[in-house]
Amino acid sequence: MPNPSSPRLRTAPPVPRPDRQFYAKTAAFGRFGIRWFDPQLMEHEHLHGHIEMNWLTAGAMHYLVDGKPVEVPARRLVLFWAGIPHRTTSIDRGPVGDSRQCNIYLPLDAFLHMPRLGRLTETMMGGGVIALPAGSIGDETLERWYTDYRRGDAERGDILRSEIALMLRRASVDGWDELLSPWIEAVQPATRGATPLRYVVAMVRHILENLAEPLSAEDIARVVGLHPNYALNLFTSVMNVSLHRFVTRMRLIRARALLFEGALSIENIAFQSGFSSLSQFYDHFRNAYGITPRKMRTTYFHA
């Protein structure tokens, strides 16, 4: 069992860093975050721009995810796409009533950028709810991650997110238990009568697979057989962000990751991330992070 006092400590907010500006501009993509708290019922369903990870120290919780019942067990890390409406409907606080909950909020765009997750990405974007294998993580690791997150140190934050990515990559190899099977099916141009969510998931997949290439609204709409104007409006209504802004954000996340690796020139990073010119890249990067790519590399990544 964890030290029950450590997650309950009142601590100062995380130290601001450039990434917080990036995620402050739209509610479509929430900031990265970790919380420890007492499990709580939710009167109404809600949604937000994360892959949400839940951990219970004891007991169990019951969710409705898009109206479908899901039970979250104790001591298993449970993942789902929080962009699908969900709410907690009942809580079992364990035999002594001292259950604590840890949530990790991984921004959807950061999750989609993580490489080599294969079917795990498809399962999340398909509306599945999964529990990682027992032993994938424990209270001590979650508490360490929480401490690193609260410190707000840029390098520790990148290590933390890298550790989460490695945990998910291992899960993609080891497998998982499905608490709710994926139900958002693939959409092809010939598909008729698909739900808006299914169309949008198909567009997101196409964007991710072709991020370094020119991406027009017409090309993306053609993938799902929709009129471009209708596809744009559909994407915005489901994702709460325009298609153009989504593409730009995904390109910026790729560029930031390449900056961290430190091997490529900034010009090569710009073009490998899909930006048509170096000046365009600098404008978007500075607007998103409040700092130039070169300054971020030298200041935060010690490259």
- Give me the CATH number covering residue 130: 2.60.120
Indicate the residue among 180, 206, 221 that finishes a domain: 180
Residue 229: alpha-carbon gap to chain centroid: 27
Q: Which residues form the domain of 85? A: 6-180
Q: Is there a single domain that holds both residue 49 and residue 172? A: yes
Local mean pLDDT, 10-residue blocks, the chain (303 residues): 46 53 62 93 89 97 95 97 92 92 92 86 90 95 95 85 95 96 67 70 87 91 91 87 90 87 87 92 90 84 52
Q: Is there a single domain that holds both residue 91 and residue 161? A: yes
Q: Is there a single domain that holds both residue 141 and residue 203? A: no
Q: Quick check: pTM over 0.85?
A: no
Q: Which pLDDT does position 176 carry in this prediction?
A: 97
Q: Is there a single domain that holds both residue 11 and residue 133? A: yes
Domain-located, residue 188: no
What angle, 0 to 180 degrees and rounded to 10, lies between the N-to-C axes of helices 196-209 and 243-261? 40
Q: Which pLDDT does position 142 carry in this prediction?
A: 97
Total count of domains within the chain: 3
Q: Is there a single domain that holds both residue 207 and residue 74? A: no
Phi, psi of 64 (to 5 degrees): -115, 120
Q: Is there a single domain that holds both residue 249 and residue 236? A: no
Contacts of 44 (CB under 8 A, 6+ apart): 87
Q: Is there a single domain that holds both residue 85 and residue 141? A: yes
Phi, psi of 130 (to 5 degrees): -130, 155
What angle, 0 to 180 degrees and rounded to 10, lies between the N-to-C axes of helices 196-209 and 228-239? 100
Q: Is there a single domain that holds both residue 71 and residue 162? A: yes
What is the C-alpha separation between 127 and 132, in angstroms, rounded?
Answer: 16
